Structure 1
Amino acid sequence: MLKSMTGYGRASQSNASHTVSIEIRTVNHRYLDITFHSPRQLLYLEEAMKRAIKSTLQRGMVTVQLTLSGEPLIRNEVRVNWQLLDQYVESFKQIAERYHIPADYHINDVVQLGDVFEVSSVYQASSALDDFVLSVLEQALYNIQDMRLQEGRHLHEDLGKRLKELEQSVRDIRHHAPQVVEEYRKRLNQRMTEFLANSGPVDQARLLNEVAFFSDKANIDEELTRLSSHIQQFYSFLNEDGPVGRKMDFLIQEMNREINTIGSKANDIHIARQVVEVKSHLEKIREQVQNIE
């Protein structure tokens, strides 16, 4: 089943201590490109989240927005630099003895010695929270996959319709192609008759050689066969599981190559019009394929 690369999925859950909300947005991209916007204290989880996303999504530009509320994950701790404080106290004593002043000091005097105290932030790691966040991510991924599949069904329907239009144009070219040589023979015969009006009858052998040369030069059977084969292969991709966007894009390039060759070889106004139609169909299909995973 086709999957669109455009989608949105959201999930939010709460437990006794936290609420986790995750939003995932995806748009078309040649490869899988993942960007996270998450709290600093959960940056370590991004690798695990990336693995979970890669197991579900194969292509697209993915933006993940994670918000966390509830109990703080970071606890501040104060440590005393006892070695430095001992040096301060010893220095106070030496000053008092040297200048014969009272060595009385209060706790407030110690507090003002800022470099004696070291404040550090300690992250309170929790495997339960990690599992909780990943479970919310799994639900968001499920939701975005559901949307991408719905969009994929619309793409499947649209592409099927456009392929039928493309097939009809190719059948029209195939039906008209034999007439090109016959019309060329008639035109050439008429021109040669007019040119040789005063010189006798048309040399039929020479006429047949010219027509045979033109027929070989203007023959588009191989291109039409390959083009039809590409269309059938494209149909098979519509029902194939897994990412097929790149395969489809490659087929469109090949079909464009064949129709360009047909346009350059078939010296006929009717076929030229159909070539324009085929190119128009292929361009519309290519635009849709750009959004297929």
Structure 2
Amino acid sequence: MYSMTGYGMGIASNDTYSIKVEMKSVNNRYCDIAIKLPKNLLSIEDKIKRIVKQNVNRGKIDVFINVDYINSKNVKIDINSALAEEYYNVLRKLNDQFNLDSEITLRDIYLMQGVIVSKSEEENTDEYFLLIEEALNQALKGFLGMREIEGENLKKDFEEKISKVYEISEAIKLRAPIALKENTEKLRSTISQNIDAENLDLARLTTEVAIMADKLSIDEEITRIFLHLEQFNDIINLKGAVGRKLDFLIQELNREVNTIGSKTGDIEILKNVVDLKSEIEKIREQVQNIE
């Protein structure tokens, strides 16, 4: 079981350049991967994304790739003269439009985006990709390791909370037959008091009470709660993406608890229902962090 939050970093280099890959993730219902890398490497973005997808199932993942040139002999600095001239003309136009008497300096132009361009004399995307893949695998190792550690911490937290849910559910289970018996007796008494004794059909009264008592029974809901809790404990011990399964189980648990609350009028059980809903909500919030 893995958390959806994590961070990893990797560095790989050769005689020409050094590549640093950083990746981080936060919660997301789907697998949303964003790759940020130099424009000259956009052609290999899909390859990088495929590698990440092979290792991650859910979460919003940001991957940052930075290239530093080590050997300056292999780097060419170039000027986009046409773009520089366009920037200059625009700056002059602004000067005239606002009646400014500002001097346009070289600094004003060369700091504009795209005027000065640095690139390797031999752009070899295959060579880039080999280094990126090496650094990415390092980053993934740390990234997945952090997600696994956080997943183990969440697992321990789940176990504590599920133990509390078990405890409250056991209290409801013990109280249920007592409450049902009390409700049945009250129901029988109420019906008897409101029916003419001379016209009382005892057999029919017994049948009606049994039917209504069955409707008030919460045995099935309690049984399903314990089944869901067993499933939950099994799932948190599995490897891989289990967040959606856990989310579904939490919905089912809530459904059973709400049904119990609607079927019973017993004060003690209703107090336990409130406590159960509180604990289940805490679990639901944590489940949102699971891949």
Q: Does the alignment reach a TM-score above 0.5?
A: yes
What letter is aligned with 2:267?
I
In structure 2, the partner of 1:159 is: 158
Does the C-alpha gap of structure 1 residues 186 and 17 become closer, same or farther in structure 2, counting only changes over 3 Å? same
TM-score, normalised relative to structure 1: 0.76
In structure 2, the partner of 1:258 is: 256
1:208 to partner: Cα distance: 3.7
Q: Hey, what's the Cα distance between the residues in 1 that align with 2:221 and 2:128?
A: 60
- Give the secondary-structure state (helix, strand or coil) at the position aligned to 1:291: coil
8 Å CA contact 2:12, 2:134 repeated in 1: no
Identify the match of residue 269 of structure 2 among 247, 271, 276: 271
Q: Deviations over 1:48-106 (max 9, x none)?
A: 111110111111000011110105787589xxxxxxxxxxxxxxxxxxxxxxxxxxxxx
May I ask how many residue pairs the two structures share in their alignment?
Answer: 248
8 Å CA contact 2:19, 2:132 repeated in 1: yes
In structure 1, the partner of 2:53 is: 54
TM-score, normalised relative to structure 2: 0.77
In structure 1, the partner of 2:64 is: 65
Q: Hey, what's the Cα distance between the residues in 1 that align with 2:232 and 2:197?
A: 57
Does the C-alpha gap of structure 1 residues 192 and 214 become closer, same or farther in structure 2, counting only changes over 3 Å? closer
8 Å CA contact 1:27, 1:61 repeated in 2: yes
8 Å CA contact 1:75, 1:123 repeated in 2: no
1:209 to partner: Cα distance: 4.2
Q: Hey, what's the Cα distance between the residues in 2 that align with 1:185 and 1:219?
A: 10
Larger-gyration structure (1/2): 1
1:223 to partner: Cα distance: 1.4
1:11 to partner: Cα distance: 1.6
Q: Deviations over 1:235-268 (max 9, x none)?
A: 1101111100000001111111111111111221
8 Å CA contact 1:74, 1:124 repeated in 2: no
Q: Deviations over 1:163-199 (max 9, x none)?
A: 1111111111111111112212443466578779x98
Identify the match of residue 281 of structure 1 among 264, 274, 279: 279
1:178-257 map, 5 Å: 178-188=177-187, 208-209=206-207, 211-257=209-255
Does the C-alpha gap of structure 1 residues 185 and 223 become closer, same or farther in structure 2, counting only changes over 3 Å? closer
1:157 to partner: Cα distance: 0.1
Q: Percent identity?
A: 39
Does the C-alpha gap of structure 1 residues 76 and 199 become closer, same or farther in structure 2, counting only changes over 3 Å? closer
8 Å CA contact 1:75, 1:124 repeated in 2: no
Q: Could you list the runs of 5+ residues in structure 1 that have no partner in the other structure? A: 78-120
- Give the secondary-structure state (helix, strand or coil) at the position aligned to 1:240: coil
Q: Hey, what's the Cα distance between the residues in 2 that align with 1:211 and 1:74?
A: 91
Q: Hey, what's the Cα distance between the residues in 2 that align with 1:223 and 1:249?
A: 19
Q: Could you list the runs of 5+ residues in structure 2 that have no partner in the other structure? A: 79-118
8 Å CA contact 1:41, 1:123 repeated in 2: no
C-alpha RMSD of the superposition: 2.6
In structure 2, the partner of 1:28 is: 27
- Give the secondary-structure state (helix, strand or coil) at the position aligned to 1:46: helix
Q: Hey, what's the Cα distance between the residues in 2 that align with 1:61 and 1:205?
A: 65
What letter is aligned with 1:38?
L
